[in-house]
Structure 1
Amino acid sequence: MRTAVTVSALALTASVVGPAALQVSPAALASSETSRPGGMFTTSGKDDPTPTPTPKVKKSTPAPPDSPLLQSTVVDTVAYGPHIRQRMDVWHQADGLRRPGVFLVHGGWWSAGDKKYMADITKSYAEQGYTVFNLNYRLSGDAPWPAQRTDVLDAITTARRHAALWSFDPGDYAVVGFSAGGHLAAAVGTYGNGLPGLRGVVGVSPVTSPMLAYIDGVDTLDLNRRRLREAAIQLAGGCEPARCPKIWASMEVSRHASLGDVPMLAVHSQDEFVPAEHSLLLKERLRLFGVGMTVVTEPGADHSTPLYRLPEVEERVQDWIAGKLL
């Protein structure tokens, strides 16, 4: 099932477009890079692939925009899996061009958050001419790890397989994640021996080491660090490291580093509860495989999207992405 929303100068308003959806034409699916018969989406080689039906398309009429490019922007909500959380908003043009893509992954302790809170950031990338995929994913209360990584992989697979529907170049995209979403973005960046078409990963306050979060949350007066420790335990299905070492090893991004990984950028605040040590551990591991990672530390204690919204951070991230995409 798909819904659509419109772009307006002031807000984003979700609207159900009616019970009858238009079936994607066979020609459109055939023109997609990796479409397969049967209308099922899978990601090969994953630990728990989730099949989903061929998407159906119903588009809304764009409202008056803030910029000329947004005048023709259409926003579709696409189901990439059967769970209610397996949805993504696709901001795209209907001009048939092959545009680079940006995937956005929200934060929220792995247990909360929603793509709707990423609307302004999504809009800013659409204004720059990217096809933008703003993701929801199953939370830790819905399913334990690795369901969250699997969902991001499935969303990317869906986008690449049906790239022609959204004027998207499946060989040219970046993934940007915030806080817990930064963990998922980095986990995708180190998955297997590299994803086709992925050019770079950005994490803003990324929790790339749940184990470090677990350790930092012991005997501390910092309520956020204590909460992050509990959130990491919940992500592991309620199982602590001593009892479930394989699960915790799987959650550690640095444990999956390999030659096929892509460059990364991480931004932390100097005094936030997700310290730069998370990213420095990953940077050192990636260095062993000749993969570059830039770790930036900003003054203050801003975390996740408030950190990103600092003008110097937003500009740096956007410039970095522009330099990595073709």
Structure 2
Amino acid sequence: MQFRYVLALCCCLVLQQASAVESEVLSDVEYAKVDGQTLLLDLYLPALNNSDDQGIVESGRGRPCIIFVHGGGWKGGDKKSAKQNAAWLVDHGFVVASINYRLTDTAQWPAQINDCYEAVRWVRRKSKTFGIDPDRIGAFGTSAGAHLAALMGTRIFPGKENVSSRVQSVCDWFGPSDLMTMPPNNVGNGRTAEDVAGSNGAKLLGATVREVPELAADASAMDHVSGNAAAFLIMHGDQDPGVPVSQSIRLHKKLVASGALSELHVVEGGKHGGVLFRTNEVRQRVLHFFQRSLMQNWNQGTGPNARFRVLHASAPTHWSVVRDEGIKWQVTLPGTGQSTVVHWGERIFFTTMKPVQRDSTIGSDIVAWCCDANTGKTLWKRDVAATHPLRLSGCFSDSTAPPPVTDGRLVCFFNASGTVACFDLDGKLQWSRELMTVGRSQPTLIRGVVIFIKQSYMPDEDGKFTHDHGDAPVEQWTQLQAIDLQTGEDKWATSCGANMGCVPLLMSRTDGRDVMVVGRGGGHSPPEKPTGVSMIDAADGKTLWTLPLPKFMSTMTYNLVGDDVLVFDAGNHLWVDAYSGKVKRQVSIVKNVPVRRHGAEGWKTETTTIANVKKPRSIIQQSNVLAGVYHYFRSYTEPWLGRVDSRTGRVEYLQLPVQMRPGSERQKDDLLWGPEDMDAKVFDAVKGARKKQAAFPITKWAFKENDMKDAAGNVVMGDQRSRGNGWGHHASQLPTVIGDYLYLPTMAGTVYVIRWDSEVLNEEAIVAINDLGPVGGAWNRASLSFAADSLFAHTIDRLICIGK
């Protein structure tokens, strides 16, 4: 049975959909031999229970693998402990490789970490044999094993290797992260020099930490943290008598400060392992973490990490829908829509409006879709009706705008006209509720609870939200709402209020608390007061603090770096303390800022001040995203991409062409840098339709305005501003960060690919400028999502899979 996953080995082997391949364990498999010692592992292989499972293996993508590293003070323990701690993950589609490594009675540092590296290489070399995806490998360890797992996620193998030993995620259970500060390694509190010399740490290093400080640092994850670290889940008991919880807290703080993804969960009453680490709640945390970091699903609009960012991934950077370059498949859709495509396994989910038979401006009924991720073929679709019509194809949102969420068993769809409906993955309705989800809401799933922004006052008969609610009572304020995914029942709601245009992201503070930040203040006289921001506890919705900001425009995402909440306020970038809610520092993003500009004579850098605008905002709504330590955004008044270095406060701008018109080949693509590049007839037609005294707005700079037609040729639009180019006044689709690249789509169908970690933000950072369709015919407001090495895009009339 060792080769059960290699279907090509035997042409007569046929897996029928109805037949399931049972899970199995391959014991005592040799993965290395070092100095005459054979190193063994146990390999736990998941079952193939359905066509989706078999499709993953048959496609060659394989399963993610978790390497389990046992504890035992580096002097004891055995791979068999995986049976209790990690083998259960096999039931959720993970391969588990539980390893033995050389103990301190036979070898000293760095033998132990080298064995772990070799186990990773073995998994990659054998990936085809056992149906493993070599690009999705995680590490999971307890105690001393967690110490090694943390190093697998932070320490880069110092030598040359033909097969990579890097892992993509780490689950660290109560492991030491800094050997220099571990109590058993230091004299004091009753410990003598003789005790320290006989400690487990001294046995690991071959000497005490004071005698070999450089070796101790090499064996400490704290000394290897960088923004390129694996994603981390760190769990530690607050009553641990062996490894102080401070070891995990400090590691978590350093990881998040570096820009890496890390979550910390302190188990109240927990000791060094024990029953509190075997609860269903703990298992759910571990499962959800590995699903987010290794499954390569995009299970919600904000992505698996709820931050529009995926680490250690590689997505396509060059494509053209017009030229059919780099396009895996595309499907014509009968109705307009703007939900981000959500992915799980072999399926994708999204929503469109119910098709119309004539030009239309408003609508309320949507269609929930489930399609095959590999082909775009429709698997099922369901009507989701509602009662409050909204403007079609709005440049701020419409009824289809909130993306679905899924946990791999259930999928929840949101009709912003007033209905939330949940189905199983075969399309069977589980429950449905009349709830008014805000169109710009980004529903977020956290351990079985769905959090979204709920609208309390309704639009008018034309689908518009009027200015009549400025003095509405608290009962009519827009709030964050949490419901149970399985039942649809309410779990909690906030009381502080949230603007309909703010985008709260699920984040983890350095104390391990899951939090979200909401904003208040914006257009159309919203009632929520005071204008400003509040941090809420994602477990119960309670307000932790509030920061009033006069005349605040809250329509942005809210990101956390270390203990700093990053906020744009008028022309300033703020760092707000995550515990007190006080402003720690601020920099101007409009005064004396450097911009790399394109002109007739090429590129040059200038220092300039951006002119004041009518409204107290300086960024395009919802255009900001955190990429590592850089807070990216797009200027509200200029065709500029900006970023703020969250460490130093340095502000940079880079001019981008506002639109790209695809040519017959990439070298012949046309770039529109300003109105001077517009076709004369288009310029005269657009300018002639405006008031003579009005300035020619950036939103109108285009080769051609969006025609706003669906696949049948009907104009489906309730807001003329949707004809704009995706710059200036509108609500941008949220940018996404995948691996080394930032993806910035515009409403007119131009997509910029930016190398986000460029040392200097200049033209060298522009990797590619791509299209999602012909100019005028590629309107979209969906973010690009990523799964299975492909990008998914959703435009006014089509669904697109970008990849090989």
TM-score normalized by the length of structure 2: 0.30
Aligned in 2, Cα 1:228/1:208: closer, same or farther, shift over 3 Å? farther
Gaps of 5+ in 1: 6-21, 29-67
Write the deviation string for residues 69-97 of structure 1: whole angstroms up to 9, x where unpaired.
77243424321222546211112259645
Q: Alignment partner for residue 277 of structure 1, among 229, 233, 246? A: 246
Query: 1:71 maps to what in 2?
Result: 22
Q: Alignment partner for residue 245 of structure 1, among 208, 213, 225? A: 213
Query: 1:164 maps to what in 2?
Result: 128
Identity %: 27
Does the 8 Å CA contact 1:190/1:253 hold for their aligned counterparts? Answer: yes
Written as runs of structure 1 = structure 2, the 5 A alignment for 1:101-180 is: 101-180=65-144
Offset at 1:197? 6.6
Identify the structure with the greater helix proportion: 1
Query: 1:303 maps to what in 2?
Result: 272
1:257 aligns to 2:225 (yes or no):
yes
Query: 2:702 maps to what in 1?
Result: none
Does the 8 Å CA contact 1:217/1:229 hold for their aligned counterparts? Answer: no
Write the deviation string for residues 19-73 of structure 1: whole angstroms up to 9, x where unpaired.
xxx9xx9x98xxxxxxxxxxxxxxxxxxxxxxxxxxxxxxxxxxxxxxx977243
Does the 8 Å CA contact 1:186/1:208 hold for their aligned counterparts? Answer: yes
Partner AA of 2:28 in structure 1: T
Secondary structure, counterpart of 2:71 in structure 1:
coil
Identify the structure with the greater strand proportion: 2
Between structure 1 and structure 2, the one with the greater Rg is 2
Written as runs of structure 1 = structure 2, the 5 A alignment for 1:283-294 is: 283-294=252-263
Partner AA of 1:91 in structure 2: Y
Aligned in 2, Cα 1:315/1:233: closer, same or farther, shift over 3 Å? same
Aligned in 2, Cα 1:85/1:217: closer, same or farther, shift over 3 Å? farther
Does the 8 Å CA contact 1:170/1:197 hold for their aligned counterparts? Answer: no
1:87 aligns to 2:40 (yes or no):
yes
> RMSD between aligned alpha carbons?
3.1
Aligned in 2, Cα 1:70/1:317: closer, same or farther, shift over 3 Å? farther
Secondary structure, counterpart of 1:291 in structure 2:
coil
Aligned in 2, Cα 1:301/1:287: closer, same or farther, shift over 3 Å? closer
Offset at 1:204? 0.8
Offset at 1:264? 0.7
Aligned in 2, Cα 1:267/1:166: closer, same or farther, shift over 3 Å? same
In 2: Cα distance, 1:211 partner to 1:180 partner: 15
TM-score normalized by the length of structure 1: 0.71
Does the 8 Å CA contact 2:179/2:209 hold for their aligned counterparts? Answer: no
Offset at 1:136? 0.7
Offset at 1:243? 1.8
Offset at 1:193? 8.4
In 2: Cα distance, 1:90 partner to 1:291 partner: 30
Q: Alignment partner for residue 155 of structure 2, among 173, 188, 191? A: 191
Does the 8 Å CA contact 1:171/1:196 hold for their aligned counterparts? Answer: no
Secondary structure, counterpart of 2:97 in structure 1:
strand
Partner AA of 1:246 in structure 2: E
Gaps of 5+ in 2: 10-18, 49-53, 159-163, 297-804
In 2: Cα distance, 1:270 partner to 1:72 partner: 36
Offset at 1:294? 1.6
Does the 8 Å CA contact 1:107/1:304 hold for their aligned counterparts? Answer: no
Secondary structure, counterpart of 2:218 in structure 1:
helix
Partner AA of 2:177 in structure 1: T
Does the 8 Å CA contact 1:173/1:200 hold for their aligned counterparts? Answer: yes
Query: 1:14 maps to what in 2?
Result: none
Write the deviation string for residues 292-325 of structure 1: whole angstroms up to 9, x where unpaired.
2222111214323644213221221111111111
Does the 8 Å CA contact 1:69/1:129 hold for their aligned counterparts? Answer: no
Query: 1:207 maps to what in 2?
Result: 176
In 2: Cα distance, 1:311 partner to 1:120 partner: 13
Does the 8 Å CA contact 1:106/1:178 hold for their aligned counterparts? Answer: yes
Aligned in 2, Cα 1:205/1:137: closer, same or farther, shift over 3 Å? same
Q: How many residues align?
A: 261
In 2: Cα distance, 1:196 partner to 1:180 partner: 19
In 1: Cα distance, 2:91 partner to 2:21 partner: 6
Higher relative contact order (CA 8 A, sep 6+): 1
In 2: Cα distance, 1:217 partner to 1:114 partner: 28
